[in-house]
Amino acid sequence: MLLKVEDLHVFYGSREVLKGVSFWLDYGQIVCVVGESGSGKTTLLKSLIRLNRASVKGKAIFKGKNLLELSEKELNRIRGKEIGFIFQEPSLYLDPLFKVREQLLECCEEDKKKAEEVLREVGLYETDRILNSYPHQLSGGQKQRVLIAMALIQNPSLILADEPTTALDVSTQKKVLQIFRNLKREGKSILLVTHDFGVVAEVGDYVLVLKEGKVVEEGDVYKIFENPREDYTKELLSSAFID
């Protein structure tokens, strides 16, 4: 088992945002977290590696270590190297003042060959052009794949992905989901936040349904699609558009 989360509670001040969330994630598995806006999906991802200013209680055991008890110095050894993070909106996380080359090479100790390899891995084959571009010179799909490359470049075993296909066109979305399938085949694990059950159907192995900070239903993908138990899950499914 790669990651085991037990009784996770997250507070912003006195407001409890996550209320006793528990789940586990194995090697080579994609677990999808679904729920409406405000259900706590992004908070869950960021809390695991403490990227938000929140009070956190519970356990998040990753390779035998409780992430929630580590010092900032210890966490910095894990962030990026062992746990990669794909943010939802690339324009907010790619610095507009620096070329992709500078931002990507910063993650891999100036190893240009490695940067080129990971760009090709995410389907960006014009590596020189991409590396020498500023973020505003790239399309939304290209920027999203650059973010994915940044998350993968240190070869982490776990990827935390926050709505990585939001606002992408159908063609680009399919390419991104194919990247995730490839990562799974390589034995990497992904905790994927999405509101789109179409994405779940494409790549998910297991589903957590989150509502108001609680897991109200969970199960393997086939179980959730064929026999959802909760009305909330049924509503999410009925509103999804699946090819």
- Tell me the domains of the chain and their CATH numbers: 3-239 (3.40.50.300)
Position 241 pLDDT exceeds 60: no
- Count of Cβ atoms closer than 10 Å to residue 109 Cβ: 9
d(CA 213, CA 17): 5
* Residue of higher predicted confidence among 173 and 130: 130
Strands 15-25 and 158-162: unpaired
- Nearest Cα neighbor of 57 from 20, 103, 111 is 20
Do 214 and 21 touch, CB atoms closer than 8 A? yes
- Nearest Cα neighbor of 34 from 228, 218, 226 is 218
- Nearest Cα neighbor of 122 from 137, 98, 142 is 142
Classified as helix, coil or strand, 38 is: coil
Position 229 pLDDT exceeds 50: yes
- Nearest Cα neighbor of 180 from 192, 194, 171, 195 is 192
In this structure, the dihedral spanned by the alpha carbons of residues 6, 12, 17 and 23, taken in order and rounded to 10 degrees, is -20
The alpha-helical segments, DSSP class H, found in 50-139 are 72-78, 90-93, 100-105, 112-121, 127-131
Please report the pLDDT score of residue 193 as a whole number: 96
40 Cβ contact list (under 8 Å, min separation 6): 10, 17, 18, 21, 210, 212, 213
DSSP single-letter state for residue 161: E
* Residue of higher predicted confidence among 105 and 241: 105
Per-residue pLDDT tens digits for 132-186:
999 999 998 899 899 999 999 999 999 999 998 876 788 888 888 999 999 999 9
Could you tell me the two tokens for 97? 């003042």
129 Cβ contact list (under 8 Å, min separation 6): none
Give me the sign of the Cα torsion angle 75, 81, 82, 88: positive
**pTM of this prediction?**
0.92
Which residues, listed in sequence order, are joined to residue 220 by a DSSP beta bridge?
A: 206
Position 243 pLDDT exceeds 60: no
Please report the pLDDT score of residue 242 as a whole number: 44
Per-residue pLDDT tens digits for 27-81:
999 999 999 989 999 999 999 999 998 999 999 999 999 999 999 999 999 998 9
Mean pLDDT of the chain: 92
